[in-house]
A = this chain, B = another copy of it.
Amino acid sequence: MSMEPTLRPPANEGLIAALANALGDRFSRARAVCEQHGRDESYHPTIPPDGVAFARSTEDVAAIVALCAQHRVPVIPFGTGTSLEGGVAALAGGISIDLAGMNRVLRVSADDLDVTVQAGVTRKQLNTHLRDTGLFFPIDPGADASLGGMAATRASGTNAVRYGTMRDNVLGLTAVLADGSIVRTGTRARKSAAGYDLTRLLVGSEGTLGVITELTLRLHGIPEAMSSAVCAFPTVADAVNAVIATIQVGVPVARIEFLDDVQIDAVNRFSKLDYAVAPTLFFEFHGTEASVAEQAEMAGMIAGEHGASDFRWATLAEDRNRLWQARHDAYYAALALRPGARGLPTDVCVPISRLADCIVETKADVAESRLLAPMVGHVGDGNFHLVFVLDLDDAEEVARAETLHERLVRRALAMGGTCTGEHGIGYGKKHLLEAECGPAIDVMRTIKRALDPHGILNPGKVV
């Protein structure tokens, strides 16, 4: 959690003039604009860029990056600013490229179940656009993030257990490289053995290897039938063991989410619900009517064997939507428990056989620490989140949270897991990435140096 030194070169007047000239009022150095582009939704401090360039097209981005490259000034891509590891912080100054204006859906093919979008399209905007096609895009981080940002951080969400993550759902990309050149990766084919997988290299690279400007994404047919359920368990271990059994027996759940008692209490308050304040699972099943009924029966049976009670079913779309909106608002619900507080959110992912141990040990740590830290997880993948809800002015409290955070991640690594399932590295987890990777971190650094020799692409992040 150590802070990077923030070496701020003096603003480069030649570059500033060139950007202003090229972009007119789509380039801003206003303090409020710069500050807004230097912070995300986490506890990391605001580190504003020297200016913000609002792009409308891939060619805009290419021109901006080319100018910055010429002046050796950093560029930091910005989508919706909903990252959680300081990904948008201008650690070494430079120009933020705001892609929110690149919000056009360029092409939908219902026959091929794919779509091409500009990077600033958000996940909700895309699904609204798809409304009449019978198709949907399943990846759903809590925030209504931009699809470019979601690709850059290899985001996932509640549906990943069934539909995969951004890694699995990006068919190809357009990106601007460190010299301002434009490349396209991948094709519209479903699979390929043609050369290095540049698409997967850029997905998860957090703007450090290129600026993603367009994406071709897989879509999925809206299932004939969907059904959701919520149920409470006597203990955390019971809930998690029910998940493990459900996955191991092969029930193809679309969603299986864990919320601990603290988080359920937060959700009840924030979303005006009245779930039992206990370790809880949210399920969703997708398929034909018959298959959904069969899945629900199997999962219900397993949950029952682990002591589940207070089963509530939601088959109507509006009830399901309310349930999942509450789940997506979990982070904001956690923050609302303590007005004025900021979140130190973290996530790890472990092999599912270790999930109960990892969660139980972490809950014990939290209990002992007297910190406020709700837990929520995409547990079908072995992925869970802890949000420390902190008073940032209380250095001792922050330090206690950081110690626990470090213990949690190192526990996950020792169990064969990863330091982040879906939040990314940013600069908050760089030392933990090193701990996870061993010598492979040098391979990442070699790639970074080769593709961005002057280090202008989102410097200080990931590697």
**Which A residues lie at the B interface, using CB under 8 A?**
109-114, 153-156, 160, 164-165, 167-168, 177, 181-185, 187-198, 200-201, 203-205, 209, 221, 223, 244, 248-250, 287-288, 290-291, 294, 349-353, 381-383, 412-413, 416-425, 429, 433, 436-441, 443-444, 446-451, 462-463
Measured in the bound complex, the distance between the Cα atoms of B168 and A208 in whole Å is 24
> Which residue, A164, A192, A204, A205, has most C-beta atoms of chain B within 10 A?
A192
**Of B110, B181, B194, B353, which one neighbours A109 at CB under 8 angstroms?**
B353
Whether B191 contacts A165 by the Cβ 8 Å rule is yes
Contact B187 A418 (CB under 8 A): yes
Within the complex, the shortest CB–CB distance from A288 to chain B, in Å, comes to 6
Determine the distance from Cα of A113 to Cα of B201 in the docked complex, in whole angstroms: 26
Report chain B residues within 8 Å CB of A187: 413, 416-418, 436
What are 5 A-B contacts with C-beta separation under 8 Å? A187-B417, A189-B417, A194-B420, A194-B429, A196-B205
CB distance from A339 to the nearest CB of B (A): 30
Give Cα A299–Cα B439 distance, bound, in whole angstroms.
49
| Besides the known contacts A191-B383, A196-B463, A197-B204, 8 further A-B residue pairs in the complex with CB atoms under 8 A apart | A111-B352, A168-B168, A183-B439, A194-B419, A196-B447, A221-B250, A291-B291, A447-B450
Residues of B within 8 A of A197 (CB): 154, 167, 197, 200-201, 203-204
Contact of A444 with B195 at beta-carbon distance under 8 Å, contacts A112-B353, A351-B112 already known? yes
Question: Given the interface contacts A195-B462, A419-B194, A462-B196, does A451 sit within 8 Å of B440 by beta carbon?
Answer: no
A440 touches B198 (CB 8 A): yes
* Given A189-B418, A191-B156, A204-B197, A183:B349 Cβ within 8 A: no
Pairwise interchain contact B200-A349, C-beta atoms closer than 8 A: no
Are B425 and A193 in touch, CB under 8 angstroms? yes
Given known A113-B248, A197-B201, A204-B193, contact A182–B450 (CB-CB < 8 A): no
Task: Give every chain B residue within 8 A of A168 (Cβ-Cβ).
Answer: 164, 168
Q: Are A382 and B190 in contact (CB under 8 A)?
A: yes
Picked from B183, B209, B248, the residue with its CB within 8 Å of the CB of A111 is B248
Which B residues are in CB contact (< 8 Å) with A444? 195-196, 198
CB contacts (< 8 Å) of A421 on chain B: these are 189, 191-193
Which of A154, A195, A350, A417 is the most central at the interface, judged by chain B CB atoms within 10 Å of its CB? A195
Known: A187-B416, A417-B188. A154 touches B193 (CB 8 A): yes
* Chain B residues, Cβ within 8 Å of A195: 204, 425, 433, 436-437, 441, 444, 462-463
Contacts of A110 in B (CB 8 A): 248
Whether B438 pairs with A183 at a CB distance below 8 angstroms is: yes
* B351 pairs with A189, CB closer than 8 A: yes
Q: Are A191 and B177 in contact (CB-based, < 8 A)?
A: no
Please indicate the chain B residues that have their CB under 8 angstroms from the CB of A109 in the complex: 351, 353
What are the 7 A-B residue pairs with the smallest beta carbon separation, nearest first? A450-B450, A200-B200, A111-B353, A188-B416, A192-B418, A189-B349, A221-B250
Q: Bound state CA distance, A441 and B194, in angstroms? A: 11
Please, which residues of chain B bring their CB within 8 A of the CB of A438?
183-184
Distance in angstroms from A192 CB to nearest chain B CB is: 4
Best-buried of A196, A413, A446 by chain B (most CB within 10 Å): A196
Minimum Cβ distance to chain B for residue A246 (Å) = 12
Do A351 and B114 form a contact, CB below 8 Å, given A187-B416, A294-B288, A450-B447? yes
User: How far apart sit A194 and B440, CA to CA, in the bound complex (Å)?
Assistant: 12
Given A195-B462, A424-B193: A351 in contact with B188 (beta carbons within 8 A): yes
Shortest C-beta distance, A412 to chain B (Å), equals: 8
CA distance A96 to B356 in the complex (A): 46
Q: A380 — nearest CB in chain B belongs to which residue? A: B190
Q: Which of A164, A352, A462 has the most CB of B within 10 A?
A: A352
Cβ A191 vs Cβ B167 within 8 A: yes
Q: Are A196 and B191 in contact (CB under 8 A)?
A: no
How far is A437 from B421 in the complex, measured between Cα atoms in Å?
31
Task: Determine if B183 and A443 form an interchain contact, defined as CB atoms under 8 angstroms apart.
Answer: yes
Q: Within the complex, what minimum Cβ distance (angstroms) separates A219 from chain B?
A: 11
